[in-house]
Amino acid sequence: MKMRSFLPAVAEQLFRDIQKAYQETSQIPDDLLIALKFVFGPCALQALDLVDQHSVTCLSSPSGRKAFQVIGGSGRLYTCFVSCHYCPCPAFAYTVLRRNEGPLCKHILAVYLCQAMAVTQQESVSDPQMSALLSGTAPL
pLDDT at res. 137: 67
Looking at the DSSP bridge assignments, the partners of residue 68 are 58, 80
Domains in the chain, number: 1
pLDDT tens digits, 44-57: 999 999 999 999 99
- What mean pLDDT do residues 13-21 have? 96
Query: Within a domain: residue 139?
Result: no
Work out the angle between the directed axes of helices 43-52 and 106-117 (0-180°, nearest 10).
50
CA 27/CA 126 separation, integer angstroms: 34
Whether the predicted pLDDT of 2 surpasses 80: no
pLDDT tens digits, 95-116: 888 888 778 899 999 999 999 9
Query: Within a domain: residue 92?
Result: yes
Query: Within a domain: residue 3?
Result: no
Query: Within a domain: residue 111?
Result: yes
Domain housing 90: 9-133
Query: Within a domain: residue 138?
Result: no
Query: Within a domain: residue 31?
Result: yes
Query: Within a domain: residue 27?
Result: yes
Q: pTM for the complete prediction?
A: 0.88
Query: Within a domain: residue 1?
Result: no
Whether the predicted pLDDT of 126 surpasses 60: yes
